[in-house]
Amino acid sequence: GILVTQSVHKQLAGFSMVSQVHKKDAHIKGQARYVPHKRMNSSFLFQSSTSPFYPMFAALDVNAKMHEGDAAEIFWHACVIEGINARKAILKRCSKIRPFINPTIDGKPWESFDSETIASDIRFFAFDPKDAWHGFKGYGHNQYFVDPCKLLLTTPGVNPETGAYEDEGIPANVLAAFLRTRNIIPEKCDLNSLLILITPAESETKLARLVDALVEFEDLIDRDAPLEEVLPEVLAAYPERYRGYSVKALCADIFALYKKHDMKRLLQEMFREESLPRVAMLAHEAQLKFFRGETEYVALKDAQGRIAAEGALPYPPGVFCCVAGEVWSGAALKYFLAIEDAVNATPGFRPEVQGVYFEKEANGSLRLYANVIKA
């Protein structure tokens, strides 16, 4: 059967942490591998609290009720249309920030088609292995698609067809920081991409505010506006570092660090089978040693060849790149050390990390530390 966990709190109606499990296995009912309700429910209760937060369960009931009958199809179709129209507006009004979609369909510009046509034809959101616009490899025809309700934007800096760095770039974290000054909160941002979640709660007006903010940001880039006009809070927090800086100078500094460490390549290698860290012990065994205090707290620069006592990840993507029991090495170690360098060189843009910890050194710099198994 198929079991899928869906984060209700992301785009549906639910408090933070609320998720639901979809179970589709009627086609194997009667077989030994079929999971009946009692077994499923018992497994769920094993993981739950005897004192649950009842509003979470109420939110699930409300969400289910909202999606009864034809209601869900109606408001999610409207949501898809809003997302399509937002992409069209960005393509029309922006020259640097681009929505992550196939530029052409049947030899015509993506945005030239009617929105209803786009919404009803999955080809407008499909990854084709023969195409070069997305830069992805190693998958089959009709295997992957862009989610119409996840507005993924890309910023200049990397040629999507060749994967090569361009001469200049706009790091997505600078754009994300600017959007927050306009009370627009991106879901997450990576090196040169930024994600906006579109839900049935969005409106044409709200998405128009987003597009206006993107146009405003591009205008600031074109004018090479001073940082006090673009990100006044960053300048106020680090006046000695950024005094006299313009937005282009800031982008150039961060982008130079991306190129120096080839962070794009490291990010790719971290999740490729041939580059994964060596497993030295089971994750469960490493976790037990961690809980028992059989660990050392070392600077990450000295962790080469040491066994991780806890899983570590950067967010985004929010996926473990070194699991407990694996050996710190290769792309994962280099990527975190690149983050350490970037945090010290360009303060104010520290990404979220878990399983490794920033500690302030005597000279005021920040250094990453990690728990490793005692030798």
Q: Are residues 254 and 270 located together in one domain of the fold?
A: no
Biggest CA-to-CA distance, the chain: 72
Q: How high is the pLDDT of residue 189?
A: 93
Residue span of the structural domain in which 54 resides: 2-68
Tell me if the bond preceding 317 is cis, omega within 30° of 0: yes
Question: Domain with 312 in it: what CATH number?
Answer: 3.90.100.10
Q: Are residues 63 and 134 located together in one domain of the fold?
A: no
**Residue 59 φ then ψ, to 5°:** -60, -40
The rounded distance, in Å, linking the Cα atoms of 348 and 84 is: 33
251-290, pLDDT tens digit by residue?
999 999 999 999 999 999 999 999 999 999 999 999 999 9
Q: Are residues 104 and 244 located together in one domain of the fold?
A: yes
Question: Domain with 101 in it: what CATH number?
Answer: 3.90.1150.10
Q: Domain end: 219, 238, 260, which one?
A: 260
What's the total number of domains in the chain? 3
Ordered DSSP codes for 300-320? GGG-TTPBBSS-BEEETTTS-
Q: Domain end: 43, 68, 93, which one?
A: 68
Of 225, 213, 216, nearest in space to 251 by CA: 225
DSSP 351: P
Q: Are residues 317 and 215 located together in one domain of the fold?
A: no
Residues of the chain with pLDDT under 50: none
Q: Are residues 107 and 240 located together in one domain of the fold?
A: yes
Q: Domain end: 214, 243, 260, which one?
A: 260
Q: Are residues 313 and 337 located together in one domain of the fold?
A: yes
Q: Are residues 123 and 137 located together in one domain of the fold?
A: yes
Q: Are residues 272 and 210 located together in one domain of the fold?
A: no
Q: Are residues 146 and 246 located together in one domain of the fold?
A: yes
Q: Are residues 81 and 197 located together in one domain of the fold?
A: yes
Q: Are residues 179 and 302 located together in one domain of the fold?
A: no
Residues with Cβ < 8 Å from 182, sequence gap 6 or more? 209, 213, 216
Helix 204-223 vs helix 71-93: crossing angle, to nearest 10: 20
296-316, pLDDT tens digit by residue?
999 999 999 999 999 999 988
Of 344, 307, 342, 300, nearest in space to 323 by CA: 307
Q: Are residues 222 and 366 located together in one domain of the fold?
A: no
Q: How high is the pLDDT of residue 97?
A: 98
